[in-house]
């Protein structure tokens, strides 16, 4: 959608001068266009099949790939990298509407919780 500053024919305040109505529309357009909601989900996991780091990495890689493919989020393992039984995953999503990003993060959390090889120890959702 283009900038709504252009006036309809016959409604200008003079050459090169926008009317108060066009300035109000510009302000509302800019306000809508600049709205951004960022959500960060952090999930601490216990890998029930985690005997070795190789086992853990297989579970985590599979889970992260599914999250990234299904949802438009960035996801990574962010803590406990050397522990074969524990991991902390993070997913971050951005949208222009808070309910959308909230629902998306709830679906990401549900996907993680539905993985039979992991047990969710803690889950935190933060809006930045």
Specify the pLDDT at position 7. 45
- Whether residue 24 is found in the same domain as residue 77: no
pLDDT surpassing 60 at residue 11: no
Strands (E) located in 26-95: 37-47, 74-79, 86-95
Our count of domains for the chain comes to: 2
pLDDT band at 43 (very low <50, low <70, confident <90, very high): very high
Which SS3 state, helix, strand or coil, does residue 94 take? strand
Classify the C-alpha dihedral 49-52-56-62 as positive or negative: negative
Mean pLDDT, rounded, for 94-102? 89
The pTM assigned to this predicted structure is 0.69
Instruction: Read off the CATH number of the domain in which 83 is found.
Output: 3.30.70.1120
- Whether residue 78 is found in the same domain as residue 116: yes
């Amino acid at each position: 959608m283009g900038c709504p500053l252009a006036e309809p024919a016959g409604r200008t305040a003079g050459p090169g001068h926008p009317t108060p109505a066009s300035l109000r529309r510009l302000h509302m357009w800019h306000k809508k266009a600049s709205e951004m909601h960022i959500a960060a989900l952090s999930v601490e996991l216990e890998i029930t099949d985690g005997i070795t780091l190789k086992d853990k990495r297989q579970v985590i890689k599979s889970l992260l790939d599914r999250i990234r493919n299904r949802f438009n989020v960035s996801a990574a393992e962010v803590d406990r990298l050397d522990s074969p039984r524990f991991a902390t995953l993070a997913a971050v999503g951005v949208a222009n509407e808070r309910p959308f990003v909230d629902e998306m993060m709830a679906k990401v959390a549900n996907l993680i919780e539905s993985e039979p090889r992991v047990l969710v120890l803690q889950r935190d959702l933060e809006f930045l």
